[in-house]
Amino acid sequence: MFKTISFKRLDSTNDRAKQILEPNTVIMAEEQLKGKGRFNRNWSSSKGGIYLSLILEIKDAKDLSYLTIIAAISAQKAIKEVCNLSSVIKWPNDLLYNNKKLCGILTESMIGKKKLAIVGIGINTNNEIPLSLSKKSISLNKLLKKKIDNKKIVSSLLKNFEKYFKLLKNKKYSKIISDWKKNFFLGSNIKVKTMNKNYSGIAYDIDKDCFLIIKDKYGKKITIKEGDIFLE
């Protein structure tokens, strides 16, 4: 279903995808010079890792949050299938192992004549993690002490993504959420840093809009729409 365009080096696969804007296309790069994360952060993107962006047509703006979820489940399944490693999904867009980041997802919307979305996925496979990030991030080859087959991961990722994207087109929202929850950090003690306020509590649930619900120490449920999560 997806047509792949590969580059040796790009500033950012998300930015190149925004120029190409052909639905069902995947833009890949061996390295990125200006890899982007959420909140305009940098995404360290040296050679060896996986850096790709999917260009997708969506029907509904609501589908945007679901695309991030689908990408997280697909990357998680790919890592399990190829490396036999179970990672945890941290809301809304990270895969962690032992509390360190293996994968990040950046979904951006391009609402013009057609509603298009760009889903950027970065997976730390064989790339060197800079010392400054070594407390927060880890690569699969460091964890498993062997070279990781990027091609196999990408092919499994795209196969899984295609399957979940079909579910999304058919509005099977609850199936997507229930698969997401299977390897999600529900029940963990977390701290949440939003733009305006900090919270702490237990990751309690995900609602139908893909927002995170936490329960604080008084048992009050709080809906989190954006922010950074820290596992305690």
Between 12 and 76, name the residue whose CB sits nearer to ligand BTN: 12
Single-letter code of the amino acid located at 186: L
Q: Is 124 in the site for ligand BTN (CB under 6 A)?
A: no
* DSSP assignment of 170-194: TT-HHHHHHHHHHTB-TT-EEEEE-
Helix (H, G, I), strand (E, B) or coil at 84: coil
Between 90 and 142, name the residue whose CB sits nearer to ligand BTN: 90
Between 52 and 138, name the residue whose CB sits nearer to ligand BTN: 52
**How many other C-beta atoms are found inside a 10 Å radius of the C-beta of residue 40?**
6
Applying the rule CB under 6 A, the residues between 90 and 109 that interact with ligand BTN are: 93-94, 104-106
- Candidate segments 46-54, 129-137, 161-169, 211-219, binder of ligand BTN by CB under 6 A: 46-54
Q: Is 227 in the site for ligand BTN (CB under 6 A)?
A: no
Q: Is 43 in the site for ligand BTN (CB under 6 A)?
A: yes
> Residue 79 has which token pair?
């890592």
Q: What is the C-alpha to C-alpha distance for residues 87 and 103, in angstroms, rounded to an integer?
A: 10
DSSP code for 134: T
List of residues 6+ apart from 185 with CB closer than 8 A: 88, 89, 90, 91, 96, 203, 231
Q: Is 35 in the site for ligand BTN (CB under 6 A)?
A: yes
**How many other C-beta atoms are found inside a 10 Å radius of the C-beta of residue 16?**
19
Q: Least distance (Å) from ligand BTN to the CB of residue 17? A: 8
Between 100 and 175, name the residue whose CB sits nearer to ligand BTN: 100
Residue ranges binding ligand BTN (CB under 6 A): 12-14, 32, 35-38, 41, 43, 51-53, 93-94, 104-106, 120-122
